[in-house]
Structure 1
Amino acid sequence: MANQSILRITRELSEIQRGSDLSLAVACRDIDVRHVRALIIGPPDTPYEFGFFEFTVKFTREYPTKAPAVTAITTNGGRTRFNPNIYAGGRVCLSILGTWRGERGEEWSSAQGLESILISIQSLMSQNPYENEPGFEDAKSDYDKKNQEAYVAKIRHESLRISVIERLEDYLGIDRGKLPGVTVYNAEEDYQANAADAPFEPFKDLCKRRFLWYYESYMTSIDNEAAKHKDGDRFEKMPFEGPGNIMEGTFQYPSLKERMQAIHDKLIEESLSWADEGRIAVEKEMSIASNLQRQFEQIVENYKKNDAVTLDLELVDKNPFVWQMVLFGRPMTNLDGGVFRIMIYVSPKFPDVLPRVKFETPIFHQRISASGVLCYDAARKDDMRSHIEAIIEAVEEESPAYDPRTLVNPEAAKLFWGTPDEKKMYNRKLRRSVQDSSEWS
């Protein structure tokens, strides 16, 4: 029975890791698949948008007959309640977990699994999380509506501050101890307080990459909210919040904007530093250096034989950790005539740390931010050829399925998925950037 349980958990972990859902991630130490870490990325168009919310999932030997225990650990050290159903102490109230009374048929069954649990938690992160509070259906007065708006406002602020900014500041070693009104808190240290093991941070690189994807969305949100909330105004207390289970604080959007910018600059600096680290790896004849050199040579040979794609690929200063790709737009497409210079920075910790890709040539595209960051997802993370293929596919795909988690240029995305006239405007702006690209090559 125990072996069957472990096989089931292992299979479910593998399915989520191989899946295409960009909003869920799971990991565990090799020695113990019963103790899982899960990351849920806040859904678009909600106050949780693109926040990084982490949970522990502990399976017993009775799984899947018995539901696992789930605890939220993105709680600002037990001080912040992010949802009526996600408490400051980490408790997650869901009928399928047996932590909340549900209707008949909503209780746990062995047909459910880890993915269904995470999706259920994600569904709590709605446009109006106040609706998760019992009795919400009767809350129709102007007072209740005002509360709902106030609740959404403070969740949006704290999602940015706690789940994004403070997480990335911890990852990057940015000292926020001197910032006024800031309490230094490290979620990983809090979680590991009673553990003898070294910190387990399986989502560090994922969060760094996604931060760069969503940076412009974060900044747009900050600008929009800063116009609504005066700096220093206190959050309003909700009727269902009580001592030790509350979200307290003040609006600090000017400070959040400065901190967001500092994180962005630090991440860019980090990726540029890989060039020097890579040269040292080459001098020391480390296996990662020779591996990347070999992959580069094989990819170049492969594309010499590929008539469908025209590109030039070279190593900058013969450094296998800095690749430059020049992609030529395919004839008879919106990219026809384009010449795009793309930098690919590879970490000496590849593939545990994935490449950073930046378009040096400006292009108006829903998958490429205004600063040139490309949103793409390689099928095989350890294979640079898979990364090159994914980069090309992300740029060339003309009729992608709608997925707001891949849209990193808000202006371009709004036009691309807008009215027919807006789509025409998108195509005109894209074509104009393609025509201008030869001046940048």
Structure 2
Amino acid sequence: MATMSNSASKILQAEFKKLQQQPVEGFKIALEDDSDIFKWKVGLYGPPDTLYAGGYFRAIIKFPQDYPYSPPTFKFTTKMFHSNIYENGEVCISILHSPVNDPQSGELPSERWNPTQTVRTILLSVISLLNEPNTYSPANVDASVMYRRWKNSKGTDKEYEEIIRKQVLESRKDAEKEGVQVPMTVSEYCIKTRLPSKDSSASNDITDIFFDEDDDFGMNDDYEYEDNDDSESDNDDYGDDDSGAHDEN
């Protein structure tokens, strides 16, 4: 067990270092305790042109001693009202489920965790989940029903939207306390020099998730990137990491 733990520690150290060098847009990461590589704290910025725009949502990722053979847990510490987030903040998403064959779950083993997954794919999956909730196997039934009603009404039913906006405003209080500047525009949120090219193997980054004009919950794909070599280096409690996500519950 000690050997497995040592191996997991080395893998996590390498992943943490890589995420500092090549951040995921919309995220900030740091260690909860510098002496514990198995517990990371995360700051997620709400993507522009979504209901979560302007929000700052905090979470904790806990890794098992046999990582990457078993999945970590991702738990929001900021209050979240979402179809695939439990009342205690834990995210329910396929990629974080152990790779067992469970026909009752409605998930294929291939949709679940496997040792080739990384923290980067988890972050991309979580940001995608905010954009496209899985309402067919919800962790929060009330949120699921309300989201579907809001979407079917084309936004005329405001109850769901008002709840999310209220949580966004609450989350900004934490950002202010920590001195965190929340990106409010697409140009502030997306940094071209930190995104892989569209034809690279990592092309499932933030541009693929939100730049879809047919998605009434995402961004407008008319936006044209500008180079931003003078991007701020953030020195708050969540380190200097930003980013985006993809996956279903």
TM-score by length of 2: 0.60
Among all aligned residue pairs of Structure 1 and Structure 2, give the percentage whose two residues are the same amino acid: 25
Residue number in structure 2 paired with 1:83: 82
* Matched-pair contact (CA < 8 Å) for 1:70–1:91: yes
- 3-state SS of 2:12 partner: helix
> Deviations along 1:95-114, whole A, 9 cap, x unmatched?
11118752341010000011
* Matched-pair contact (CA < 8 Å) for 1:83–1:124: no
* Matched-pair contact (CA < 8 Å) for 1:47–1:155: no
Residue number in structure 2 paired with 1:56: 60
State the alpha-carbon separation in 2 of the partners of residues 69 and 96 from structure 1: 10
Once the two structures are TM-superposed, the CA of residue 214 in structure 1 deviates from its matched residue by: 2.9
Once the two structures are TM-superposed, the CA of residue 66 in structure 1 deviates from its matched residue by: 0.2
- 3-state SS of 2:116 partner: coil
Give the residue type in structure 1 aligned to 2:184: Y
For residue 132 of structure 1, the aligned residue among 131, 134, 151 is: 134
| Mapping for residues 91-106 of structure 1, pairs under 5 Å | 91-98=90-97, 102-106=107-111
Q: Are the structure 2 counterparts of residues 144 and 21 from structure 1 closer, same or farther at C-alpha, using a change threshold of 3 Å?
A: closer
Aligned residues: 180
| Mapping for residues 190-269 of structure 1, pairs under 5 Å | 204-205=178-179, 207=180, 210-211=181-182, 213-214=183-184
Give the residue type in structure 2 aligned to 1:93: C
For residue 167 of structure 1, the aligned residue among 171, 174, 183 is: 174
State the alpha-carbon separation in 2 of the partners of residues 147 and 133 from structure 1: 17
* Matched-pair contact (CA < 8 Å) for 1:70–1:92: yes
Tell me which protein shows more helix as a share of its residues: 1
| Mapping for residues 305-324 of structure 1, pairs under 5 Å | none
For residue 153 of structure 2, the aligned residue among 146, 168, 177 is: 146
State the alpha-carbon separation in 1 of the partners of residues 70 and 37 from structure 2: 16
Residue number in structure 2 paired with 1:415: none
* Matched-pair contact (CA < 8 Å) for 1:86–1:92: yes
Once the two structures are TM-superposed, the CA of residue 4 in structure 1 deviates from its matched residue by: 1.1
Q: Is it true that 1:13 corresponds to 2:13 in the alignment?
A: no
| Mapping for residues 356-435 of structure 1, pairs under 5 Å | 376-377=230-231
Give the residue type in structure 2 aligned to 1:36: W
Q: Are the structure 2 counterparts of residues 375 and 89 from structure 1 closer, same or farther at C-alpha, using a change threshold of 3 Å?
A: farther
Give the residue type in structure 1 aligned to 2:47: P
Q: Is it true that 1:157 corresponds to 2:160 in the alignment?
A: no
* Matched-pair contact (CA < 8 Å) for 2:72–2:96: yes
State the alpha-carbon separation in 2 of the partners of residues 379 and 39 from structure 1: 15
Once the two structures are TM-superposed, the CA of residue 22 in structure 1 deviates from its matched residue by: 3.3
State the alpha-carbon separation in 2 of the partners of residues 61 and 41 from structure 1: 29
Higher relative contact order (CA 8 A, sep 6+): 2
**CA RMSD after TM alignment:** 3.7
Larger Rg: 1
State the alpha-carbon separation in 1 of the partners of residues 58 and 164 from structure 2: 17
Q: Are the structure 2 counterparts of residues 120 and 34 from structure 1 closer, same or farther at C-alpha, using a change threshold of 3 Å?
A: same
Q: Is it true that 1:35 corresponds to 2:43 in the alignment?
A: no
> Deviations along 1:114-172, whole A, 9 cap, x unmatched?
1111111110111xx5x521189xx9x988723864355224412431221x2135x1x
State the alpha-carbon separation in 2 of the partners of residues 143 and 380 from structure 1: 36
State the alpha-carbon separation in 2 of the partners of residues 125 and 142 from structure 1: 16
Question: What are the ranges of 5 or more consecutive residues in structure 2 without an aligned counterpart?
Answer: 99-104, 139-145, 188-224, 236-243, 245-249
Q: Are the structure 2 counterparts of residues 143 and 41 from structure 1 closer, same or farther at C-alpha, using a change threshold of 3 Å?
A: closer
- 3-state SS of 2:158 partner: helix
Residue number in structure 2 paired with 1:121: 126
